[in-house]
Chain A
């Protein structure tokens, strides 16, 4: 494991100044209310059963309150009077090599920042906020797992997280346009690039052009059927992802957000439309203005909201008998629990399918697929990722569904692996793929 060695050698090389830097960043990330959470846990244990890591492997290290404890012990030692005078009495511990290693294991290795612990916490401790502050501190010390950082670096260097070149992107868009014209029989079906003044700037996950363009074709087909005025950016600002949400470096996250803001300004679009992606929606809709420290001069919507409006307003007609296999819906944490997009996808699916069943639990109480929080990018934690995803696999099995719809490409990749590992024998699709299948062509 060369990468593991890389983190280990970085831990060995840490200087006192690095630890101070980490502490400073940690302190700077916490608002007053969050700092008070560090002394608020009543050890009720409700978070344990709410966490998919702990549900699938009940070790102490997987209890969210235990992860929190690691962080609060350092906070107490460095930022409270009692912690400085009598550390042993208040459970205060120094921030040293072993503690930094334990933080990495807890906040990168055993947490997908899904937030389920937080909504089930007796006193509402915002655990993901605190874990993100700890990730930021580790980042300031050069302790982000290298493959997660590489994904951020790709966005910073190439404008998208898979280092797709402009030429490759444009050629793929043109190819999908040809495919869409074949599929619809309409030579006027387009994937418009750089259409100045279009109403919507649509953004996608680089995974789509790189490896899975059928979802892009499906989204384009829906826009075609709704006669929408939309465009894609040819260069910079077509990628909706932002792994700055996961390495928790707000400056880098802000720079990546700016790719979208600049594309909106360049093309003069009214609304930034985020394709089916959990973290991308959360990052662009909720976090972006915070990172940039200013509000956007445009609105941000999920494509799920648009599809919901098309169905409601009769702009697209659907034939649910095109999708008769039992279907269930996965709720991506960043889209639903953190993002607030909850009912739009359900209303659409009920119109596009004949046999829709909810997983239990669902909506804000959904379980993470196990691939969130950057887990999919951190190869070293693969076994835990697959094991913790067992919770989702059980839910899918219990639903009896043959098709799992997931409005998030990150979740889709994890679900594809769960499908294989747990032999679920399901198909995994985006909402747009279901809608595209059910579309009744306009007269």
Chain B
């Protein structure tokens, strides 16, 4: 997949559009991925609280959080998560938070 250019730096994406190197993530990159991958022109406060929680969980635990933790911690209701991220928590929210693609049927 073609790389995204963020602050003059070229950042490589996997075939699935996930960051090849998750450590390169920053919030500007999340904005660019939101537009390129999810068609989102603007990220609301709800988007950001979900993205920041997922990112923090990943940095601490090296995996994606359960959607339950996302809802309980951010206060964003489950159905709203699917509206915020049309590709869902994995291919939408986790991708924007710079996580690698989760294993399994996703």
Interface residues of A (CB under 8 A from B): 1-2, 147, 150-151, 154, 161-164, 168, 171-172, 175, 179, 205-207, 209-214, 241, 376-377, 379-383, 409-410, 413, 416-417, 420
7 A-B pairs with the lowest CB-CB distances in the bound complex, closest first? A410-B105, A382-B15, A211-B89, A162-B104, A151-B103, A161-B104, A379-B15
A1-B14 in contact (CB<8A) = yes
Q: Once the chains are docked, how many angstroms separate the CA of A175 from the CA of B69?
A: 10
CB contact between B15 and one of A1, A210, A417, A420 (< 8 Å): that residue: A1
Q: B91 at interface (Cβ–Cβ under 8 A)?
A: yes
> Chain A contacts of B101 at CB under 8 A?
147, 379
> Chain B contacts of A1 at CB under 8 A?
14-15
Interface segment out of the listed B24-32, B40-48, B60-68: B60-68
Q: Once the chains are docked, how many angstroms separate the CA of A150 from the CA of B89?
A: 20
> Chain A contacts of B15 at CB under 8 A?
1, 379-383
Instruction: Report if A210-B103 is in contact (Cβ < 8 Å); known contacts: A1-B15, A2-B20, A380-B15.
Output: no
Chain A: interface secondary structure? Answer: helix
Q: B102 at interface (Cβ–Cβ under 8 A)?
A: yes
Closest to A167 in B: B66
Provide a sorted-by-A list of 14 A–B residue pairs whose CB atoms are within 8 angstroms. Answer: A154-B104, A162-B102, A168-B69, A175-B72, A179-B78, A205-B104, A205-B105, A210-B102, A211-B106, A213-B68, A382-B15, A409-B105, A413-B105, A417-B87
> Chain B contacts of A376 at CB under 8 A?
105-106
> Chain A contacts of B66 at CB under 8 A?
164, 168, 171-172, 209-210
B20-A214 in contact (CB<8A) = no
Q: B86 at interface (Cβ–Cβ under 8 A)?
A: yes
* Residue of B20, B63, B67, B72 contacting most chain A CB atoms (<10 Å): B67
Closest to B103 in A: A151
Closest to A380 in B: B15
Chain B interface residue count, CB cutoff 8 Å, equals 25
B103-A213 in contact (CB<8A) = no
Q: Once the chains are docked, how many angstroms separate the CA of A409 from the CA of B90?
A: 14
Q: B22 at interface (Cβ–Cβ under 8 A)?
A: no
Q: Once the chains are docked, how many angstroms separate the CA of A183 from the CA of B67?
A: 19
Q: Once the chains are docked, how many angstroms separate the CA of A172 from the CA of B57?
A: 17
> Chain A contacts of B104 at CB under 8 A?
151, 154, 161-162, 205-207, 210, 241, 377
Closest to B20 in A: A2
> Chain A contacts of B14 at CB under 8 A?
1, 379
Determine how close the nearest CB of chain A comes to the CB of B35; give it in whole angstroms: 14
A163-B103 in contact (CB<8A) = yes
CB contact between B86 and one of A382, A413, A420 (< 8 Å): that residue: A420
Q: A1-B14, A1-B15 are in contact. List 15 more A-B contacts (CB 8 A).
A: A154-B103, A154-B104, A161-B103, A162-B103, A162-B104, A163-B103, A175-B68, A206-B104, A210-B66, A210-B67, A377-B104, A379-B15, A379-B16, A383-B15, A413-B105
> Chain A contacts of B87 at CB under 8 A?
416-417, 420
Per-position binary interface string of chain B over residues 75-94, scored 1 when its CB falls under 8 Å from any chain A CB and 0 otherwise: 00011000000111111000
> Chain B contacts of A164 at CB under 8 A?
66
* Residue of B68, B78, B89, B102 contacting most chain A CB atoms (<10 Å): B68
